[in-house]
Amino acid sequence: MKHLKLLLAFLLVFVANTVSAQSTFDKWPAIKEFHEIMSETFHPAEEGDLAPIKARSEEMMNKAAQLLKSEVPVEFKTDAILVSAEHLQMKSKALNKIIKSNGSDADVVKSITDLHNTFHEIVGLCSEQKK
């Protein structure tokens, strides 16, 4: 039941941010590239399939690093967004470390979920900047 409530809350936030996220992705290609890997790995992990994230954790870590090095659109260059992007990079490194050290599936799920939440925090902050 707890997972269902969490999923419903996530879906509500996701739907609310979809339109503004699309323009965020158009303005900031690096976040779009990160999102592609996130969506292709997180959603299977939600269903218990950890193979995609286990195969692509290093790629995700590299995309998070590229995100920080990318040209951040001026309207998204706020302290809050940049700090969250740094957290995204650190959490992606931690996830990759868990996977490379054969951490438990529960630790992988917890880590990718935390990373996913941080990603959506960034998208939400970007949406707020456009208002």
Euclidean distance between CA atoms 125 and 117, whole angstroms: 12
pLDDT in tens, 84-118: 999 999 999 999 999 999 999 999 999 999 999 99
pLDDT of residue 5: 60
Sketch the domain layout of the chain as residue ranges. Answer: 25-129
Q: Which residues are CB-contacts of 99 (< 8 A; sequence separation ≥ 6)?
A: 53, 54, 57, 108
Tokens of 22: 């699309």
Note the pTM of the prediction, 2 decimals.
0.80
